[in-house]
Chains A and B, each alone.
Chain A
Amino acid sequence: MILDETARPLLDIRALRKNFGAVEILKGVDLAVRPKEVVSIIGSSGSGKTTLLRCVNLLEEFQGGDIILDGETIGYKTAGGKRVRLRDAELSRQRAMTGMVFQSFNLFPHLTAAGNVMLGLRKVKKMGKDEAFAIAEKWLSRVGLGARLNHYPSQLSGGQQQRVAIARALAMNPKLVLLDEVTSALDPELVQEVLTTIKGIADDGATLLIVTHEMRFAREVSDRIVFMEQGRIAEEGTPEVIFGEGRSQRLNEFLKSSRH
């Protein structure tokens, strides 16, 4: 992938701080993602990777710093010198600009595969039924589920469910897609179909921010790797640098411990 190094970042996270109660989980994270870039976040359990993604998708409140998405500061505004959380309708509008794929799929159990993809199109984008269905069909075919449109989640395998979830996120035409360990809940034999799907989407030019424990996949798909440790970004660089011979001691230890 050829990236325009000078382009304005699509996602710009500045000095992000987040705490749960008295515990600080994110201790000032700076991270920029350029359009069409694929960035993978790695790091040990509890280092704050999920929390970071959830902040970007505004599923969590955060206490300091800014998140700027395509030039718009999201989640908070300053009113009378004070930082205030935006209203629900605003948050919803901003959330619709990012897609999120969860570790546990989280498909709507009462809706078919097509229904899952269509809900956001109908209710958020206010599309008509036919238009929404056409888009759902397109995306479900794209993830290899064109023959499963009318299946309910309970009638699909884990890998298929996760691909529906990917279609659901992408059908909204988000500027940025967040993926949080999307293969961790899958049986080993189902992992590859999902990774292949993601690789295809990356090749199509989507901007992806991926949290993963699949080092080989991260190396293959990413333009850049970010290594998180205890709520901070400890190192970042191209896959060649991060996984290369000259890597640092702590990164070496992490990679060794994460190899199954």
Chain B
Amino acid sequence: MNYTLHFGAVWASFDHLLGGLAIGLGLAVAAVAIGTLIGLLSAFASVSHSRLLRAISGTYVLLIRNIPLLVLVLLVYFALPATGIRLDKYESFIGSLALYAGAYLTEVFRAGLLSVPKGIVEAGRAIGLTRLQTNLYVVAPVMLRNSLPSLGNTFIGMFKDSSIAAAIAIPELTFEARKINVDTFRVVETWSVASGLYIAACFTIAALLRMLERRFPKF
């Protein structure tokens, strides 16, 4: 057990790690943005009167939540070209992660929808809002505010899952760390710095989210 720490080699490539971190954040932002749209549609479908829509939403969530993200990523990346759809690796990964996030967000928003008191929906209808207007101006804002903490947690989860993009050679943080690890063999330093960066980013995001939550009135 004779290992002396030398961070020099890792610091020399620190900008690569930071660049990787930025890519990871970008992937997560894009995926959660698309995933939020998917999640909203799917959540409204899951509480709709249509049995078909409910079944579609339920099946989607069941499938995605029980399959490893890596399998989904590889399937989309390697199998989609066979069907004639050409995506670059970024588009492909964002698509996969968005599908993944969408399933988790379906449950987040569904819980949010069920937490909206029936009374305020009726109050909206009573002043003459249409069903769509009620959903838009009453249900959605209340549901989104109630879902904010879970939405934030999902974002942090997706940011961590962006590490899986390394599997298709997207140069995000984990990919860069592995490269430095193999190039320099400063194993302990590389992984502690990489892990430290992830942790710092997660804590920063969490702190920002708490600030955001405080800025909006609580119901």
A and B in contact, CB less than 8 Å:
yes
Determine the distance from Cα of A93 to Cα of B128 in the docked complex, in whole angstroms: 6
B120 touches A107 (CB 8 A): yes
A108 touches B123 (CB 8 A): yes
A95 touches B138 (CB 8 A): no
Count the A-B residue pairs with Cβ separation under 8 angstroms: how many? 78
**Chain B residue with minimal CB distance to A152?**
B217
CB proximity of A80 to chain B, nearest CB, Å: 25
* Chain A residues whose C-beta falls within 8 Å of the C-beta of B141 in the assembled complex: 110
Choose one: B119, B130, B137; the contact of A104 (CB below 8 Å): B119
Choose one: A106, A119, A120, A124; the contact of B122 (CB below 8 Å): A106
Choose one: B128, B131, B145, B217; the contact of A96 (CB below 8 Å): B128
How many residues of A are in contact with the other chain, CB < 8 A? 29
* Chain A residues whose C-beta falls within 8 Å of the C-beta of B133 in the assembled complex: 92, 123-124
CB proximity of A179 to chain B, nearest CB, Å: 12
- Tell yes or no: B1 within 8 A of A by CB: no
Determine the distance from Cα of A107 to Cα of B219 in the docked complex, in whole angstroms: 11
The interface bits of chain A over 89-100 (1 if a CB of B lies within 8 angstroms of the residue's CB, else 0) are 100110110111
Determine the distance from Cα of A93 to Cα of B217 in the docked complex, in whole angstroms: 31
Choose one: B117, B127, B217, B219; the contact of A172 (CB below 8 Å): B127
* Chain A residues whose C-beta falls within 8 Å of the C-beta of B125 in the assembled complex: 59, 92, 95
- Tell yes or no: A57 within 8 A of B by CB: yes
* Chain A residues whose C-beta falls within 8 Å of the C-beta of B67 in the assembled complex: none
A108 touches B142 (CB 8 A): yes
A89 touches B138 (CB 8 A): no
- B contact residues vs A (CB 8 Å cutoff): 117, 119-120, 122-131, 133, 137-138, 141-142, 145, 217-219
The 10 closest A-B CB pairs, nearest first, are A96-B128, A120-B127, A109-B219, A106-B119, A106-B123, A100-B126, A124-B128, A92-B130, A110-B141, A95-B128
